[in-house]
Structure 1
Amino acid sequence: MKKSTLFALTAIAPVLLATEGHAQESSLAVAAAPATVEELVVSGEIVFRNRTEDAVPTLSYDLEYFQRFEPLTAGDAMKRVPSVAFLSDVLESDGARLRGLDPGYTQILINGERVPGAGVDRSFFVDRIPAELIERVEVVRSSSANRSGDAVAGALNIVLRNGYSLEGGYLRAGGILLDDGRVRETVGGVYAGQVGPGRLLVGANVQGRRNPKRKESLRYDEPGGELQDVELQTDTRNGTDYSANASYDLEFEGGALQLSGYIIRTDRREDEDSIEYAGGRIRSEDLLTLNDNNVDIVTDNWTLGAKYDREMLGGRFKLRLGYAAIEDKQDEIEEEYEYLRDTRPYPEDDRFTGDLTFLRLKDTEFSAQVAQSFPLGGAELEVGLQYVDKDRDTDITTDRNRITIPNPPAARPGIPGPYGPFLPVAGGVSAIEERRLDPYVMLSGKSERLSWEAGLRYETTETRITDETADPADRVRETDEAILLPSAHLRYSLTEQDRLSVSVARTIRRPSFNQLSPALLEAELGDNDFIGNPELEPETAWGLDVGLEHRIGRRGVAGVNVFYRAVDNLVEVANTGEEGSEGEGTFVFTPQNTGDGKVWGIEFDLSTPLTFAGLENTGVFLNYSWLDSEIDDAFGQRRFNDQAKYVLNVGFIQDLPVWKAAFGATYRKQGDAFGRVIGEEVETSYGADLEVFVEKRFGDRFVLRLTGSNLLDSSKDEVFHKFTTLEDQVDRSYDEYELESEKAGPVFQLVGRMTF
């Protein structure tokens, strides 16, 4: 019904514009002529950060800003923009952490619209979007009334190419050489041009993905204690991403229509193999475990969208319709042979344990937004209403196959014993329905030196949670909430080169799905149990951003921004006082709205040619963000979990016009992070990442580019402090102290682009 409604409305929109559009006396300004593919793909011009005119503080980066380093995904591109951190594995850029905060605090938008993600924290993995689909990436530091308020840290808007992005087409083909000697392919193409009364853009991309990593874990009984065991692991992620996108854009007298959509399929296998040895001695007689863990993943993301706007009632009428979906299928099998477990179950025999788990997730969102603007004196008044209908269905079933085998074991071939029956995991079979109706009003104005915006948004949400694994009395829970979100933004030009921006906004973070589910998870936090809380209220935050931006010459820009967030109704895990399933000393914990937190930092960015130094063909880039926060939990004060202390990017591009060539490099470093929950504390640090490129242009239609990334063999190093009970964690009585290091080697790409 939702999809048919969308198609019907988009089908009749051309009729509406055809019958009424010519009656308007005024018309939209004609869109700027699209750039030719030669200008975008082969040109040797260095591209810098855009200087936007929005009252809302926004940093904008065209794809050409990143393209010479050939990013594979939107996540790879975002690594180069201010304040974006990741807590991913080496060479992975999935959950974007704007200002270092958990991905659930960052709103990911595609063409300005929300999209559902697979994460239980409502986050969307940005490595799902191939970089070839992008027109630009926007960092929106504060929130406006005409957008959803789920943006405590800010929003990252991925704007996809449309029919007005370029004129012509190009083909892209190349190979990616990995550290293990494997070569993966990348091939794609884009075309845009006039078709009928409008402009059509179509694109397709096939991209091989592979990430071979090595891990080493050292486990002690406590810090400075005796080494208990060593684990050596290989972790290889191999797959292919398929994507296609299309956009049809039509401008007419007094208005415009855009129909767009994309589909992305991720087909991937994650293969982890590990060997564990007792006492740090790597020899066969000290073998503890052999573990084989494989996950087959097929994920489909797709959207359909329609945007229609026209002059009406003396102002502008806007209509947006969207349908977005993610379907995630994961089949995971983990089989482990255990030896020398004399203090564990099965003391006389070794054992084989196998777990086969099936995950099926479907999350869909239908959205509609209607707005009408009116002139009001020297300002503009916009009144709008946004509707969101979200359905999320999760089905996770599993079976454990446990068999004792003679000691010592024979060879390691498969162990007999079929899997099944498959039963739901706790919290694994659920349905969540959310219905949102959000009216808003916004007043904005602009003069020669001043632009401003102020608005109110009233978000109402009805939620129905059905969890088949919960206690029968709690399987169906319904909640209803409403919250008012004011915002105000001001941008003032101090001089022709300098301008000041000030923003104040209230934002919201809704609880994670696993925090709402009323299912009981035994021994989830150390030996403590965890049960969700459907009565959780959203976190809210008042935020302030103050920035100063300076234009350098004709194309350069430098900016500094100070931000502060005061977070209320913070969701933290609290002790219910009930005894846990593991007996005395353990408890049942549940998330509750308790306490508050503060987040603050300073962000600096620079993007400029060195024309003032006589080096007009040299461009330099620098951004540095210092990040901090404060929160109180059951153990005292800490930062927000896993917030990096800083993010640094620095680089240059040198064009060589006489040789029709260019080269450049970027260096990235992310600060240490610390996270603490009941039963575990984690310290995380990353090595630096160095990327370089060399390109040669042949005529006006072909460019060949060689890039190298992770040239410093970056590592991710983690320290795990593990405890079984709350009392043990307070007393620092360890269950295990683990040092883990993950490394990956360099990656090289050779890519050619030919325009037509």
Structure 2
Amino acid sequence: MRTFTTHVRHTTDVSGEIQMTVFRKFPLAVAVGAALGIPTVQAQQLEEVVVTATPIRDSQQASIDAKRFADNYVDIVSADTIGQFPDQNLADSLGRLPGLAIERDQGQARYINLRGAPFRYTTIAFDGIDVPGAENGRIPRFDSFPSVITSRIEANKAILPNMPGESVAGFINIHTFSPFDKEGFSMAADVGTGKQDLGDGDIEKYGLRGSWSNDNFGLMLFGSENSREQITDNREYELEPGENGELTVHDLDFRSYKVKREDQAYGGHLEYRGDGALQRVYASKLYSEFQDHEERNQWAFSSAAPVAGVTAENVPMIVSRNLEQGLYENSTDTTTLGVDVQAGEWFVEGSVNYTETEFGMDLPIPYSVGGFTMADYDLSDIEDPKLYLATDLADIEYAMTLGLHYVQQLDIEATKYKLDASRDLDLFGQASTLSLGTQWDQREAGGFVATPVIGAFPAEIDIADYDTGKAWDANTTNTIGGTYFNNAGLYNAWANAADLSVNGLIGESNLIAIEEDIIAAYAMLRTEFSWGNVVGGVRVEQTDYTSQGTLNDTSVSVDDSFTNVLPSLHFNFDLTEELKWRVSASTGVNRPTYNEWRAAASVDVTEQTVTGGNPTLEAEEAIGVDTSLEWYFAPASILSVGAFYREIDNVIYTDVSTIDGGIYFPPAAGESWEFQGAVNGKDGMMQGLEFNAIALAEDVLPAPFDGLGISANLTLIDSEFKSLDGRTLDLPGTSDMVYNISLFYEKYDLSVRLNYQYRDEWISPIEDPSEYWGEQERVDLSVVYTLPFDWEETAVSLYANANNLTDETDVRYSGNGTINQAESYGRRYLVGVRVNF
């Protein structure tokens, strides 16, 4: 078996942690050192470490070591020994950790439900600097951040005082590579190409990271670009169950999406390291952008005379047609300047961060309505509905075509000032570390919620001229004879004939204008004992916000200020050298999203109704406990069991409620008005059990079976809250059961992993609260072969990935228990080469 030699220097910093600097390539020590988050070095001792080309094992070793020595309950995914992250999409990697479930959009991992909680209960950060979520300011997305710079991801489940308080479910910290990880010049490159099975779409992947460092200076630059073309085959329904179990069909919706998703990122890190009082000065930059180009060809059929039964003949159908040429996009642009100094016995870290996020949706749709045909249907196979038209689809005539333009925009500017200081001290004869810190966040958010702008469509454009005649690529039966239109050409003709700008057309009731200031301070004490350590402290966060809007031509401004005191206490017991027991108590706060907190709303004075934002929403507050028992029984192996419980007050959800009309219309002060929008529930709760096992056969089975390994975890979750009218509901995002199983084999420079993911049904936080997704499962395969040569310390690996091997169909249900969506997109294949030196 081929080996690589690595020299590692060890030293101890002011907190007594081991530090490493790598002087050669391909180290297991690099992964372990990176996982421990180690910064500077001083030469004291030199030793040789020999590792093998086993990227899965080495990544697991780094992750487990970092978890083992952490001061809180955390799960971690690390890059492998040659600096490659195991997945293109960070959500895919996080989804393999205990308690983390993926929510996909048209098959692509996008969001994370951490412990079955809504997306906004999780905060995201880069190297400890938390940034706004591009979507709604609170919701992190993982489909645009580049894996090329990611050395590890920490999913903190028990929150320390030096972490953001807005982490009710958890705090996900994305650590980037440092130019000092390798001395001299190094480079990592990744080129891949592939196909999406349905529609034969192209997949392309490019990533490049280069760095250089000496004893004092380091520079890293990176760039990545990925694109995926796919077809999404979609059927949507409106069904009504009868008393005898028969279904009545109201609507059948046939759609085919042609999708091209692109993400690109670039940035870098420049750093100086000193040996005196000035320890470090650095500047870092990350720009990441995601674009979803979507062509939708859609025909909706509404029964004019609904009848009971899954089959029917000669049913009159009202027909509409949508031909969308749309774009969804979001971006994050974050820049950090920082300096670390040794001021006597205090180690002080200061930083300033400026982040801009943009989120936009632009869906121009020629919308034809008032068509008619007779039809037969057969819904015996509910996921493959068959509708037979008496009139050819192309011959259906429509009463009129509207120009429907569906738009949304949210721009956020955030400035953060952060100062942290720590020092060692002796506390009653026990070695301790005292940490103090403060942080000031200023945010401005502006834009508007999803808004339909409706106008006339140019009469001189004949939409039939843009019918390509090409039948849909579909997993289901295309009984209606759906064909693709040249949506791009149709859009261009529309744009040439009319002004498609929406400036001045967005209703004042849809606008967002929020300013938010958060001042935080914390004190934390870590004390070592013979049996382990205790970490305790308190974080205080004061929030000031102003939400502005316009109601009935009257400007409205609502402002408020509140303070949250957030204590936490963490015990880490070393029961034996291999067995660790953790017990934590922590608190958290979750502020409303900007869509929910906006003051703008639609007010009907006559009917005494209000629909829109709710600037009087209270922040959600949480208190809870975590415990885990972790057995590190062998290298790169673990058996663990954990439990958690959270009580959540002021749970935010959407409902119809009664408010004081004076909030939106001052003359109506004291009157009871009806409000539809976000409100505060009560008595929220989430609890669960987490089981995790990673084991290798290297010390159990003889060759060649000693390369086998398994990683498996199971999470059982329960959640609930009470609505204003006393109903007990689940928190959006909660699946009762989530589990992952990975079987892998690594030997002879070959790494093979077969991964299975499953989650039970759940309510989606981004869909109608009355709707829920059915259970989902995924089977993925990855193969990596490292070429057997060592030329100038260069490693070349060939890889192949196959995703969604079982060609799953995702199904969603309405509140009455009937199916209302089924969509599929086929398997995905990617092959490529990685070079690292």
User: What is the TM-score with the length of structure 1 in the denominator?
Assistant: 0.85
Q: Give 2:89's aligned residue.
A: 73
Change (3 A) 1:420 1:295: closer
Paired with 2:190 and 2:764, the residues of 1 have a C-alpha distance of: 42
Q: Give 1:178's aligned residue.
A: 196
Q: Say if 2:651 is the partner of 1:597.
A: no
Structure 2 residue identity aligned to 1:270 = E
Equivalent residue in structure 2 for 1:627, among 710, 713, 717 = 717
Q: Say if 2:454 is the partner of 1:400.
A: yes
Equivalent residue in structure 2 for 1:291, among 322, 325, 337 = 322
User: Conserved in 2, the CA contact under 8 Å of 1:83 and 1:603?
Assistant: yes
**Shift of residue 176 of structure 1?**
2.2
Q: Give 1:733's aligned residue.
A: none
RMSD: 3.4
**Shift of residue 546 of structure 1?**
0.6
Equivalent residue in structure 2 for 1:34, among 22, 28, 34 = 22
Q: Say if 2:372 is the partner of 1:334.
A: no
Q: Say if 2:140 is the partner of 1:124.
A: yes
Q: Say if 2:331 is the partner of 1:277.
A: no
Equivalent residue in structure 2 for 1:50, among 64, 70, 83 = 64
Q: Give 2:224's aligned residue.
A: 205
Change (3 A) 1:473 1:453: farther
**Unaligned 5+ residue runs, structure 1?**
1-24, 343-347, 580-585, 723-735
Equivalent residue in structure 2 for 1:63, among 79, 87, 105 = 79
Equivalent residue in structure 1 for 2:443, among 376, 386, 390 = 390
Matches within 5 A, 1:347-386: 350-374=399-423, 375-377=425-427, 378=430, 379-386=432-439
Q: Give 1:547's aligned residue.
A: 628
User: Conserved in 2, the CA contact under 8 Å of 1:516 and 1:535?
Assistant: yes
**Shift of residue 386 of structure 1?**
0.8
Paired with 1:433 and 1:349, the residues of 2 have a C-alpha distance of: 47
Matches within 5 A, 1:642-681: 642-657=733-748, 660-674=749-763, 681=770
**Shift of residue 237 of structure 1?**
2.6
Number of aligned residue pairs: 701
Paired with 2:836 and 2:81, the residues of 1 have a C-alpha distance of: 19
**Shift of residue 309 of structure 1?**
2.3
Structure 2 residue identity aligned to 1:299 = N
% identical aligned pairs: 18
User: What is the TM-score with the length of structure 2 in the denominator?
Assistant: 0.77
Q: Give 1:261's aligned residue.
A: 285
Q: Say if 2:250 is the partner of 1:228.
A: yes
Q: Say if 2:206 is the partner of 1:187.
A: yes
Paired with 2:603 and 2:799, the residues of 1 have a C-alpha distance of: 53
Q: Give 2:594's aligned residue.
A: 513
Deviates more, 1:31-40 or 1:328-337: 31-40
User: Conserved in 2, the CA contact under 8 Å of 1:365 and 1:390?
Assistant: yes
Paired with 2:211 and 2:760, the residues of 1 have a C-alpha distance of: 42
Equivalent residue in structure 1 for 2:776, among 675, 687, 691 = 687
Q: Give 2:41's aligned residue.
A: none
**Shift of residue 245 of structure 1?**
2.6
Equivalent residue in structure 1 for 2:694, among 579, 595, 607 = 607
Deviates more, 1:291-300 or 1:596-605: 291-300
Q: Give 2:385's aligned residue.
A: none
**Shift of residue 621 of structure 1?**
0.8
**Shift of residue 676 of structure 1?**
9.8
**Shift of residue 134 of structure 1?**
0.7
Structure 2 residue identity aligned to 1:563 = F
Q: Give 1:22's aligned residue.
A: none
**Shift of residue 189 of structure 1?**
1.4
Deviates more, 1:48-57 or 1:380-389: 48-57
User: Conserved in 2, the CA contact under 8 Å of 1:27 and 1:311?
Assistant: no
Corresponding residue SS for 2:319: strand
Paired with 2:352 and 2:182, the residues of 1 have a C-alpha distance of: 25
Paired with 1:320 and 1:677, the residues of 2 have a C-alpha distance of: 34
Paired with 2:359 and 2:720, the residues of 1 have a C-alpha distance of: 35
User: Conserved in 2, the CA contact under 8 Å of 1:503 and 1:546?
Assistant: yes
Q: Deviations over 1:525-570 (max 9, x none)?
A: xx98633221222110101001110012122112111000011122
Equivalent residue in structure 1 for 2:539, among 425, 436, 457 = 457
Change (3 A) 1:365 1:151: same
Corresponding residue SS for 2:105: coil
Paired with 1:283 and 1:299, the residues of 2 have a C-alpha distance of: 46
Structure 2 residue identity aligned to 1:50 = I
Q: Deviations over 1:418-462 (max 9, x none)?
A: 656641135433321111111211111123431211111110011
Q: Give 1:433's aligned residue.
A: 515
Q: Deviations over 1:286-313 (max 9, x none)?
A: 5612112232244331211133323223
Equivalent residue in structure 2 for 1:97, among 98, 113, 132 = 113
User: Conserved in 1, the CA contact under 8 Å of 2:189 and 2:835?
Assistant: yes
Paired with 2:727 and 2:293, the residues of 1 have a C-alpha distance of: 41
Corresponding residue SS for 2:92: helix
Q: Give 1:618's aligned residue.
A: 708
Paired with 1:715 and 1:522, the residues of 2 have a C-alpha distance of: 42
Change (3 A) 1:350 1:140: same
Paired with 1:26 and 1:502, the residues of 2 have a C-alpha distance of: 26
Deviates more, 1:475-484 or 1:27-36: 27-36
**Shift of residue 252 of structure 1?**
2.3
The structure showing larger relative contact order (alpha-carbon pairs under 8 Å, at least 6 residues apart) is 1
**Shift of residue 589 of structure 1?**
2.4
**Unaligned 5+ residue runs, structure 2?**
1-12, 32-51, 304-310, 374-396, 468-489, 662-672
Change (3 A) 1:592 1:497: same
Paired with 1:205 and 1:441, the residues of 2 have a C-alpha distance of: 39
Paired with 1:270 and 1:506, the residues of 2 have a C-alpha distance of: 41
Q: Deviations over 1:642-677 (max 9, x none)?
A: 3111211111221131xx323220000111114699
Deviates more, 1:29-38 or 1:485-494: 29-38
Structure 2 residue identity aligned to 1:640 = L
User: Conserved in 2, the CA contact under 8 Å of 1:351 and 1:404?
Assistant: no
**Shift of residue 233 of structure 1?**
0.9
Q: Deviations over 1:176-221 (max 9, x none)?
A: 2112212222122112221572222221112113342111123224
